[in-house]
Amino acid sequence: MRFRDRSEAGQELALRLMEWASEGELPHTLVLALPRGGVPVAAQVARALGVPLDVLVARKIGLPGRPEAGIGAIVGDDPPLFDTRALRMLGLSEDRLVPDVERERAELHRRALLYRGDRSAPDVEGRTVIVVDDGLATGATARAALRHLRRLNPARLILAVPVGAPESCAEMRSEADDVMCLYQPPDFQAVGLWYDDFEQVSDDEVIGTLRERAER
């Protein structure tokens, strides 16, 4: 299975989630996208379900000199969540990564302010919350996001992604009440390999999508 782009992936996710909704399994639902790549996917889900869309900004913490290799993540002002096993294997300490955490937290706050302005984050207590991203690789940012939300007492916490590494999808089942991953290729390697168009999503696209949904 390959997806043409993030919008098509979101439409496929929406079809599966609409089955749950038709059975009354998604009451009082809120869709939260992990920006930037999760926003076009989540927009299709929110549109199909007729529910609000917002963002939860999470930032990956990468290896020093190799930012694409995630070894942790942060959400809001929560403490960083590290892959402690990876840190041990690499001989890294959390103290060594303090500058990286500070840099990513500054970028997290910049994006949250840019995307939401002075609008407060949505109240998730007692709601069905669907967290959406464009794929699941290591699962670092998804895990941090789910743990952040769990502390806010949602009624049900769902992670929905079009494609993911099988081991990461399995691990997320201990963090979310339900995990929906449409495709778990054994030769996963990277999220972008399963999209024909995986162009980077811009800040302007995120802002425009949120504004469009808010106006409906």
pLDDT digits (tens, 9 = 90+) for 58-77: 999 988 777 777 789 999 99
- Rounded mean pLDDT of 199-213? 93
Bridge partners for 32 per DSSP? 54, 131
What integer pLDDT is reported at residue 216 of this predicted model?
62
Query: What does pLDDT average to over the chain?
Result: 94
- Rounded mean pLDDT of 91-117? 92
- Rounded mean pLDDT of 129-135? 98
d(C-alpha 193, C-alpha 190), whole Å: 6
What integer pLDDT is reported at residue 124 of this predicted model?
97
For CA atoms 24, 28, 31, 32, the dihedral sign is: negative
Supply 113's token pair. 């302010």
Best CA proximity match to 158, nearest among 173, 170, 168 = 173
Q: How many CB atoms lie within 10 A of CB 96?
A: 12
Q: Convert the pLDDT of each residue in 152-196 to its tens digit.
A: 999 999 999 999 999 999 999 999 999 999 999 999 999 999 999
d(C-alpha 191, C-alpha 198), whole Å: 9
- Rounded mean pLDDT of 94-108? 92
What distances in angstroms separate CA 203 from CA 39, 58, 119, 206, one per listed residue?
A: 10, 14, 17, 5
